[in-house]
Amino acid sequence: VTGRVEIFRSLEALSGRAAALVARTVGEARWARGVARIALSGGRTPRRTYEILGARGELADPAVEIFFCDERCVPPTDERSNYRLVAATIGDAGNVRRIRGEDEPDAAAEAYEALLRERFGAGPPAFDLVLLGLGADGHTASLFPGAPEVAERRRWVVATREAHGGVRRVTLTLPVLDAARTKVLLAAGAAKAPAVADVLAGGASPAARLRGLRMLLDEAAAGRVRAPR
Ligand code: 6PG
């Protein structure tokens, strides 16, 4: 069941709104609890959002901890690395907690779960915000339709059994994503319209299993959906 849906004329407008939402949520969390913990995704869609956040500079603060929803099993210098994307756009002021993509995937997942347990204490870890993307097949983070990782209930972080684009991935699991206080999903482009429709209809895709998602869409991804004005 989705929360709010907002539709934008351009990726630029969507990105401005997403960056403002992240900054506001981080500010509110710091005010309420002294610290903000967010988890970010990779992919093409959030790049501009991250550039705007980097220019604003508010996330370069030890009281803001930046984690990842997922990572490809590549070194942090690889152009497919989500850490590399975030470091190049938002920047890493020593507050970015990366998944070690260069390590053996199952070991990297275990180590990241141990890090989350250390930072959050007893579970489930309540991120202040998770920023998610959406695949045309309905995947979110690295939870792909039909994969065993989607059914995981106990572990917080797992490695995918399958490789995607030649590399396995490490991903937060649905219970962790669902436990976040704010869940924002970005989708742009007509290729995403069927997956967006499935999420809005409460369908069977991994993304559709998350409750209370805030969706920021461009007009092409929204397809025939109309946001209430
Ligand atoms: C990643 C993601 C993944 C992504 C979608 C959409 O690191 O790739 O976490 O779930 O958000 O595949 O990717 P695009 O934004 O590139 O369409």
HEC readout, the chain: CEEEEEEECCHHHHHHHHHHHHHHHHHHHHHHHCCEEEEECCCCCCHHHHHHHHHHCCCCCCCEEEEECEEECCCCCCCCCHHHHHHHHCCCCCCECCCCCCCCHHHHHHHHHHHHHHHHCCCCCCCCEEEECCCCCCCECCECCCCHHHHCCCCCEEECCCCECCECEEEECHHHHHCCCCEEEEECCHHHHHHHHHHHCCCCCCHHHCCCEEEEEEHHHHCCCCCCC
Evaluate: CB of 25 within 6 angstroms of ligand 1. Answer: no
34 C-alpha to ligand 1 centroid (Å): 30
Predicted pLDDT of residue 152: 98
Q: Which two tokens stand for residue 163?
A: 């490789």
> What is the rounded CA–CA span in Å between residue 14 and residue 7?
8
Evaluate: CB of 133 within 6 angstroms of ligand 1. Answer: yes
Give 15-30 pLDDT, tens digit per residue. Answer: 999 999 999 999 999 9
Give the Å distances, CA to CA, from 140 to 64, 75, 174.
24, 22, 10
Give 31-80 pLDDT, tens digit per residue. Answer: 999 999 999 999 999 999 999 999 999 999 999 999 999 999 999 999 99
The residue whose CB lies within 8 Å of the most ligand 1 atoms, and thus the one to mutate among 11, 40, 41, is 41
Q: Which atom of ligand 1 is nearest to the CA of 46?
A: 15
Evaluate: CB of 139 within 6 angstroms of ligand 1. Answer: yes
Evaluate: CB of 135 within 6 angstroms of ligand 1. Answer: yes
Evaluate: CB of 41 within 6 angstroms of ligand 1. Answer: yes
Q: Which atom of ligand 1 is nearest to the CA of 70?
A: 9
Residues in the chain predicted with pLDDT less than 50, given as ranges, are: 1
Predicted pLDDT of residue 225: 78
Residue among 229, 218, 42, 27 at smallest CA distance from 128: 27
Predicted pLDDT of residue 224: 79
Q: Which atom of ligand 1 is nearest to the CA of 43?
A: 16
Evaluate: CB of 190 within 6 angstroms of ligand 1. Answer: no
> What is the rounded CA–CA span in Å between residue 172 and residue 67?
10
Evaluate: CB of 191 within 6 angstroms of ligand 1. Answer: no
Q: What is the pTM of this model?
A: 0.96
Predicted pLDDT of residue 124: 77
